[in-house]
Each structure stands twice: as C-alpha cells, then as structure tokens.
Amino acid sequence: MTAQTAKPRRSARRLKTAITRRPELIEAAQRLRYRVFSEEYGSNLGAKVPGLDADDFDTVCDHLIVTDGDSGELVATTRILHQADIAAVGGFYSAGEFDLAALTQLPGAVAELGRTCVHPDYRNGATISLLWSAVAEYLVAHNVDYLIGCASISMADGGLKAWRIARHLQREYLADDGIRVTPRRELPHLTHTVDDDRPVDVPPLLKAYMRLGARVCGEPCWDPEFRCADLLVLLEVNNLAARYSRHFLGKAS
C-alpha cells in the first residue's frame, strides 16, 4: 500500500533514515500511515485502535523510517517483509489481493515493500530519493533478488484516474507472461472510455518504481478497505536503472 499524492513543500536536507523494529517507532509510523491513508483514501482503514494503521504484518517487518533531524518528527515510512519471515503471517501481504503463484518460481530471494507514505509537508524529490536510497541499501545488505509491492491509486473520482494510470503502465511497463498475477478482486470496469490522448499523471512514488526498472504484473485489484486500486509491481534488484544504481549504491549497474 502506497500513498501517492505529491505536495512538495519542504527540503529533505536535514532528514535521516533508520531501520527499526522498536515498538514505539513502529507506533509512530502507524500514526503517520493512518493520517496519510485515511485522508487520501477517505477510509477509516478498519482501525482497531483509533488513529493507528496497524496489522499483524507490522510485527515481522523491518520498518524503514525517515525523521526530521531538527524536530525529531517521523515524516516518512515504509516496511519490508523478507520471504524468510513470512511463515509467521502466512505469506506476503499482497497475497491477500493477488494470486502470486507465478512468482513462486522466481530464482532468488523475494522481499515485499508496503505501507509506503510521506508526510504531506515533506513530499519532494529529495525525500523520495532518500527513502529509495535506504531501501536499495537494505536490498543489497539482505541479498534480496526481487522486490514486490502493491502500488495504490485513489478511487476518489470513481476510478477513471486509476484505470488511465493502469492502462498507461500496462502499455509501457508490463511484465512478461510468466510473472503475471491475477487480482482476487477485480477493479470494477467503467462504462465510459479510459483511453484518450491526455497526458497521464502517474503518482510520484509509482513513477519512482518504474524509473528503477520495475514492471507491472497484470490487472489492478480493488481494495475496498482502503478504497483504492492496487497494482502489483515487481523489481529485479540486479536490473536497477543505471542512473539510480549509481546514485543509491555508488556504482553503475
């Protein structure tokens, strides 16, 4: 689950990153997630504790957090679930939305990125780059070969934006047949056309996936809890786009 709307407002020059499983920091991340997702998707997220976006996956994930070095405020977060830890929760989070059978044949270690969000006041290219830099370092350090994740698009307009983005990404970045997945809840189709000549405004975090070399693994899924459309994306770590690997890893791919 990825919050996508961008509102550039503040420099990321004094931000710092960390990987954590500390309960108090995870709770701060859950509060940020609730704020961002509830505001942008218009859902209470089925929260068991008011103001917290929490689930069973949080306890087995590594949480990447970004904090403001001046205020100490947690301003961005994502979580990473390595396949070595999925037994405790019965599988990847995205398996609840997609049939992932085709991905079980991937030759290497798989990790899942999820619940990515950035505080509205910190949405700019520098913050997103910092977040991806930390993710890239984690993937290399933990010998991850493939990264998967659900990238979310708001359905606030009834689904036109989601379908236009999905169709654009399927045309430009569709994965090979052998690694396609099937949504467990198909996104309702619109009665009017979604294909036109207008430019497609791909959200920044989803655009960052594509620039890193990610592929869309098929049709979108309808997530009724978050009231959004989800696309399953797959990134082969060894195939990071050259300019991103130089920036994040200090070498050419």
Give residue 246's pLDDT: 57
Strands 146-154 and 110-118: parallel
Give residue 4's pLDDT: 47
Q: At CA 38, angle to CA 34 and CA 44, rounded to 5?
A: 90
More confident residue, 40 or 52: 52
Domain 15-249 homologous superfamily, CATH: Gcn5-related N-acetyltransferase (GNAT) (3.40.630.30)
Distance CA 35, CA 83 (A): 28
Give residue 245's pLDDT: 55
Contact 29, 65 (CB under 8 A): yes
Helix pair 125-141, 242-249: axis angle to 10 deg: 80
- Res 5 pLDDT > 60: no
Give residue 241's pLDDT: 45
More confident residue, 32 or 236: 32
| Span 36-49, average pLDDT | 80
- Res 42 pLDDT > 60: yes
Collect all residues with Cβ–Cβ distance below 8 Å to 215 and sequence separation of at least 6: 173, 174, 175, 176, 179, 233, 234, 235
Q: How confident is the model at residue 251 (pLDDT cuts 50, 70, 90)?
A: very low
pLDDT single digits (tens) 60-99: 999 999 999 999 999 999 999 999 999 999 999 999 999 9
Q: What percent of the chain has pLDDT over 90?
A: 55
pLDDT single digits (tens) 123-139: 887 888 888 888 888 99
Q: What percent of the chain has pLDDT over 70?
A: 86
- Res 10 pLDDT > 60: no
| Span 145-151, average pLDDT | 94
Region of 221 on the Ramachandran plot (φ > 0 left; ψ -120 to 50 alpha; else beta) = beta
Distance CA 116, CA 146 (A): 17
Distance CA 209, CA 181 (A): 18
pLDDT single digits (tens) 204-233: 778 888 888 899 999 999 998 888 899 999
Buried b / exposed e over 161-176, threshold 16 CB at 10 Å, is: bbbbbbebbbeebebe
Give residue 45's pLDDT: 74
The ranges assigned to domains in the chain are 15-249
Q: How confident is the model at residue 235 (pLDDT cuts 50, 70, 90)?
A: very high
